[in-house]
Chains A and B, each alone.
Chain A
Amino acid sequence: MEVVAEARPLSLNARLFDYPFLYFGGEGDFPPLAQSEVDTLRRYLGYGGFVLADANDGSSGTGFDAAFRREMARVLPASPLQPLPSTHVVFKSFYLLDSAPGRLFTHPQLQAALIGGRAAVLYSQNDLAGAWARDEGGDYSFEVVPGGEAQRELAVRTGINICMYALCLDYKDDAVHLPLILKKRR
C-alpha cells in the first residue's frame, strides 16, 4: 500500500472529502466543535469516510477521552461508541490479533461507532500514534509500556489492520476466508 508520508492537518470543512481516512488524535480536553464542523463530520462519516481516533494522553473519562466522546455524541447520536469484540474483522484484516495495544496498554479493545454495520469510527485509548512515532533520525519517539518492543510491534500491526479494514471493510469476513482463519486461530 502506498501512502502519503506527511501528515496534513485539516479543519473539519469540505476539504475533508478529499481524504476518506481521517486521523483524529490529541492530548487533553479540546473545545466543542462548531455546529458546521459537527454537520460536516456527520456527512463525512455517513457517505463512507473513516475516522481513526486516538487518545494520545491515554485518558479515560477525562482529557481527550471525555472531549472526544462528548463530540461523537453530537456527531453520531444514534451510533454511540461501543467496545469492539476481538472477533471483529479488524482483528484479522491482515494480521491475526487479539487486542489493540498502543504506546500504552490500558484498554485492550478498541471502541467503535457503527453505521450500517461498518465501523465508521475506531477509537483507541492506548495512544497508537505514540507507538508508531519516529523522530527525524528514524528512532521511535516514545517508549512503549508495559510491553516494550513486542508491544510496539503489535501496535504497528494494529495500525496496519486498521488501514486494511478502512480499505477492505469486511473482506476477511467473506465465507471463503473463514475455514483457514479459524484453523490458524486454533
Chain B
Amino acid sequence: MTAGDSTAWKLVSLSPLPGWALGLLVGAVVLGVFLAAVGLRREPSVGRRLLLLALRTVAGAAALFLLIEPGVRTLQVARVKNRMAVLVDRSASMGLPVTPGGGTRSAAVAESLLRMAPGLKALEERFNVELLGFDPALLPVSETVLRTVPAQGVRTDLLGALRALRATDTGGSKKLSGVLLFSDGADNAELQGGVSARARAELLALGFPVSTVQVGDPTLLDVALENLKVDDFAFVRNAVGVEVELRVRGLPGKDVPVVLEREGQVLGTKTVHVTGADETTPVSFTFTPDQTGRFVYTLSAPVFPGEAVTENNTRSFVLKVIRDRVRVLLVVGRPSWDERFLRGLLRQDANVDLVSFYILRTSSDDTQTRNPERELSLIPFPMEEIFDAKLSTFDVVVFQNFGHADQQLSIAQYERKLEQYVANGGALVAIGGDRALGDARTSYPILDRALPVDPVGQTASVAPYRVHLTAEGQRHPVTSVLPTAAASLAAWDELPAGSGVNLVRAKPGATVLLDNPSLLLDGKPAPVLALWEHGRGRAMALMTDDSWTWAFTVHRTGDPTRLYDRFWGNALRWLVRDPDLTTLQVSADPPSVEPGTPVGAVVTAREVDYQPAVGAEVTVELSSVRQHRVVATVRATTGPDGMVRVSFPGQPAGAYRLHATAKSGERVLGEGEDAVAVRTVGPELTDATVRADLLAELARDTGGKAYHLPLQGLPELPLLDPPVVEVGRSKDRPLWDRWEWLLLLATALGLEWVLRRRYGYI
C-alpha cells in the first residue's frame, strides 16, 4: 500500500568515461582558464582582459559540458503508508466516571474519537490508522466497544503497552510514525513512581513520538483505603497488626471514620480528621483473633456524596488464624491422682503450653506452722489475673474437681466472664470428683450454662462400674482412640472398673460419648463423658476423677495401650477445633479473588478411619456474610484421593463463607467451613487519580505532545514522515547532444583566437 505514485527527476552524467577521467578533464579545463588569466596579467586594458578571460571560461565550460554529457533522468517514486496507532487504556480505572455520576472515562474516549474521526480520516491518506486498546495486552477496539464493553484490565502498564506496540514495528508498512495515547495515566506498573532514568531511556528508544490525551478530571473528590499491610496468617490469641493508608481528596475539615470488621463483627474504629485537600494518613489497628480458622476481614470508610469512586472505600483481606501451642489453664481443686496423670500428660506434650493452679490448702486447713509465710511455698490464688486479665489468652480452661465454697477460692465473680469466654470461642473442660459437678461445695449457675450437663442434685455414685462407649462415641473423634470403631469400642471396654461418677443429666443438644450402663438416670445410662458447642466455643464434661486409671491401672496386665494419651489428645484437638481432626475439609482456592473472578474451593473428604472417601457426594454452599444467605451451591463427587475441586461463578465484592457437607452412600462424612474474600477493590480501582504529569512527561520524552479532554477534533500530532521509495524504471534524456553547445564552443574558441591575433598575442 502506498500513499500515491509520483514522478521525480535528477541530473546525471551520461558520459562513458570513468569518474577519474572526467576529473582530469575538469582539471585541464580549469588549468586552461588559469593559464589564460596568467597570460593576460600584463594587458593594460581591463576590458580586453576580461573579454578574453570570459571567452576562455565559456569555451572551457562548453567543453566540459560536452565531455561530461549531462542528461535528465526521470523516475517514478511513491511514499510508503506507515502506521499510526491510537492507543486506548482499557484498565478498570477507565470505567470510573469522569465526573461524579457522569459517563465513564472510556465513554469520554469514545466520544472524543468520534469528534476526531474527520481528522483521522484525513490522516489515512498518509498512514494506516489503527485503534488499539491495552489491558495491558494489546487488542483491537472500536468506538462501540469503548462505549459498551466495560474496561476491566487489572492493571495499567503504559510502558508495557508501548513496548508491545514497538514490537509490532517490523519496518516497511509496519513502521510506526506515531502514537496517540488515551489514558488516565493511573499507571500501577513500571511508571507508578514516575518515569525513571531506565524508563526514559526505553521511551527514547521507541523511535516514534507518543502524544498523550489525558482522560478524566485530576481535581476529584474521593476517599480511598490504600496500601493495606497485613500478614497472611496469625496466631490465635496473639495480637495482629493491620496498617492501611487513608487518602482523602477534596474533603478538607471532614472527620473520616475507618472501621475494621470480621465478617460483620466490628473489631475497632479509628477516626481521622482531614485538614488538607489531598491528605494521606496511616491508620493502624491491633486485634487479637480468638478462634482458629480462615476469616474475611474488612476495612471500610464511609462514602461521601460526589465521590469519584466508591469501591475504594473498603478493602477486604483473608487472615488465616492458626494456633502455635495449645495454651491450657488447669485449675485443680485439690491434688489427686487424676490431676497428677493429666498434668504428666500435658507437661510432656510439646504442643501444649500448660499453666496450672492447684488449691493445696483451704483456709480451714491446719498447716501446723508458726510462720506460714516463711515456711510454706504456697502462693495466693491469682484469680483476677487468670480469670479476668489473661483469660482470653488460653485456648482451653480445665476445671478439675474444682468447686470450693471458701470465699477466697470461689470463682463466683468470674463465672460470667468464663461463660462468655466459652461463648466467644474458648473451650472449657469440667472434670468430676468429690468437689465438682453436683458434689461441689457451691454452685456456679452462670458458668454451668456453658457445660453440656446439669447435675441431678445427688451426691456422686461410688459403685464400681465399667465405662461404655456409646454409639455417638464410636463415631466421634474424641473417643476414636483406634483406627476403627470396633477397635475403639474394644479398647474402652477393656478399661479397669471405675470407682464412681458424678450424677448429671445431659442437656438437650449435648452428645454423650461415654456412659455408665450400670447406673440409670431417667431410664438412661448415666453420662460419663459429654460435650457440646456453646456459642462459638466448645465444652466437655468428664463425670469422674478416676480417668487416671486409664493411664496407669490399665497397664497392670502388661498390654500396651495409649488410650489415655489419645483420648486427651483428641479432646484437646476437638476443643480447639483442630482442622486436621475433621473428616471433611474445605479450603478456598485461592483465599481471595477479584470481583467477577470464579471462586474456587478444594474439598477433601475422609472416612471415619481417615482413609480417603472415594466417590463421596459433596455439596458446597457459598454464602454471603453480608446478606446472610446462600448465593450458590455446587455438587460434586470426590476422586480416588478423596478430593474434588469445585468452582462458583464470580461474585460481587464482599465476605463469603464456604460450607461443605459430604455423604458416602447414606453415611454422613461431616462438614467443613472456610472463608473467601471477593476483594472489594483491586489495585486498579484503589486510586482514582488522573496523572496528568506522567502523561505530559511521557509525551515530552518521546517527542510527542500532551493534550487533555475535551478536544473538539484531532489536534496537530507530531508524526514521522513516511519514507519515499522508487517504483518503476528510470528514463534518461541527454542534454548535451545538441548543435547549440558545439556552436557555442566553436564560437568562443574562434572569437578568442581572432581577438588574440588582433591584440597582438598571437
Contact = CB atoms under 8 A, between A and B. Distances in A.
A95 B378 CA distance: 8
A14 B375 CA distance: 40
Contacts of A23: none
A96 B553 contact: no
Given A164-B360, A167-B340, A171-B343, A181 B556 contact: no
16 contacts: A17-B555, A17-B556, A20-B552, A48-B341, A94-B376, A95-B375, A96-B377, A168-B358, A169-B343, A169-B344, A170-B347, A171-B358, A172-B377, A176-B355, A176-B379, A184-B374
A14 B347 CA distance: 27
A102 interface: no
B377 A181 contact: yes
Given A17-B552, A168-B335, 16 more contacts: A15-B556, A17-B555, A20-B340, A20-B552, A43-B558, A48-B341, A93-B377, A94-B377, A95-B376, A96-B374, A168-B343, A168-B360, A170-B347, A174-B355, A181-B377, A184-B377
Given A169-B343, A169-B344, A95 B555 contact: no
Interface of B: 334-337, 339-341, 343-344, 347-348, 355-358, 360, 368-369, 373-379, 382, 548, 551-558
A180 interface: yes
Nearest to B341: A48
A49 interface: yes
A48 B348 contact: no
Interface of A: 1, 14-18, 20, 43, 47-49, 92-96, 116, 118, 153, 164, 166-172, 174, 176-177, 180-181, 184
A47 B551 contact: yes
A173 to B, nearest CB: 10
A170 B358 CA distance: 12
A180 B336 contact: no
Contacts of B548: 20
A145 B358 CA distance: 35
Contacts of A170: 347
A41 to B, nearest CB: 12
A30 to B, nearest CB: 23
Contact of B552 (A49, A93, A166, A177): A49
Nearest to A17: B556
Given A14-B557, A169-B347, A177 B379 contact: yes
Contacts of A180: 379
B555 A43 contact: yes
Contacts, number: 82
A164 B335 contact: yes
A106 B112 CA distance: 108
A132 to B, nearest CB: 14
A172 B554 CA distance: 28
Across the A-B interface, the 6 shortest Cβ-Cβ residue pairs = A17-B556, A167-B335, A14-B556, A92-B377, A47-B555, A17-B553
A177 B358 contact: no
A169 B377 CA distance: 14
A176 B375 CA distance: 18
Contacts of A118: 344
A15 B373 CA distance: 41
A20 B375 CA distance: 28
A7 B512 CA distance: 39
Contact of B344 (A48, A93, A184): A48
A115 B335 CA distance: 21
A166 B369 CA distance: 22
A166 B337 CA distance: 9
Contacts of A171: 343, 356, 358
Contacts of A184: 373-374, 377
A15 B557 CA distance: 10
B582 to A, nearest CB: 32
Contacts of B377: 92-96, 172, 177, 181, 184
User: Which of A15, A48, A49, A174 has the most chain B CB atoms inside 10 A of its CB?
Assistant: A48
Contacts of B341: 48
B564 to A, nearest CB: 10
Nearest to A174: B356
A49 B556 CA distance: 11
Nearest to A178: B379
Contacts of B552: 17, 20, 47-49
Contacts of A43: 555, 558
A35 B276 CA distance: 90
Quick one: which of A176, A180, A181 has the most chain B CB within 10 A? A176
Given A14-B557, A170-B347, A48 B373 contact: no
B502 to A, nearest CB: 17
B340 A168 contact: yes
A48 B553 CA distance: 10
A167 B339 contact: yes
A43 B552 CA distance: 10
